[in-house]
């Protein structure tokens, strides 16, 4: 698989997908914080809360168990996709599963960048012999639900009142894709 991919997005701008490097840390955090409160809250639990902790996190990534992918336009990080082996690979019963979370800055949605990111992780997962991809998406995030469905994911269930953020509960849709 090609590690760096460059393509023309549907907005006619050149976009690049590549594994994250420590120098991307602040831009990844900035991109994540650029959208909805509930999404940022959940992602910040996995990512570093500041640029220094995020840099350290990126340095320590095990390239066989997980992938941190960024999408850039004009050398600016506009999206990130995190893919982690279920249970850190410690449970042989779930070691075949790769859990993914995608974040794309609002200004770059609808141009095919998110789909290309999902296709990238799909190929990466197959190359690393994973058998299933899983994603958890809030029911309020209709665009992500559509994106994952369009890329072959199926709804596997819904966790009601999964997370309390601000002054409301959010339900979460569990989606999965079995890899050939």
For tokens 């490097």, what's the residue? 21
Q: What is the mean pLDDT of residues 111-134?
A: 96
- Can you give the residue range of the structural domain that contains 125? 5-135
Structural domain includes residue 17: yes
Q: What is the mean pLDDT of residues 4-24?
A: 94
Structural domain includes residue 129: yes
Confidence of residue 55 (pLDDT cuts 50, 70, 90): low
Strand partners, 15: 7, 73
CA distance 14 to 72: 9
Structural domain includes residue 90: yes
Structural domain includes residue 166: no
Structural domain includes residue 179: no
What is the domain count for the chain? 1
Q: Residue 18 belongs to a domain with what CATH number? A: 3.40.630.30
Structural domain includes residue 121: yes
CA distance 108 to 69: 16
Structural domain includes residue 168: no
Structural domain includes residue 180: no
Task: For residue range 59-96, list pLDDT tens digits in order.
Answer: 555 566 789 999 999 999 999 999 999 998 889 999 99
For tokens 């991809």, what's the residue? 133
CB atoms under 10 Å from CB of 19, counted, come to 16
Region of 31 on the Ramachandran plot (φ > 0 left; ψ -120 to 50 alpha; else beta): alpha
């Amino acid at each position: 698989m090609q590690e760096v991919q460059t393509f023309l997005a549907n907005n006619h701008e050149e976009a690049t997908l590549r594994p994250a490097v420590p120098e991307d840390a602040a831009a990844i955090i900035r991109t994540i914080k650029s959208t909805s409160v509930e999404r940022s809250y959940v992602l910040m639990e996995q990512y570093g809360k500041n640029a220094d902790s995020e840099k350290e996190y990126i340095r320590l990534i095990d390239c066989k168990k997980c992938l941190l992918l960024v999408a850039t336009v004009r050398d600016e990080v506009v999206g990130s996709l995190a893919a982690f082996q279920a249970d850190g690979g410690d449970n042989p019963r779930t070691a075949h599963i790769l859990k993914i979370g995608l974040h794309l800055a609002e200004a770059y949605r609808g141009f095919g960048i998110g789909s290309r990111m999902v296709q990238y992780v799909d190929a990466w997962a197959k190359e690393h012999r994973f058998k299933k991809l899983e994603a958890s998406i809030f029911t309020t995030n209709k665009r992500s639900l559509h994106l994952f469905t369009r890329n072959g994911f199926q709804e596997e269930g819904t966790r009601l009142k999964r997370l309390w953020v601000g002054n409301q509960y959010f339900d979460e849709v569990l989606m999965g894709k079995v890899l050939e």
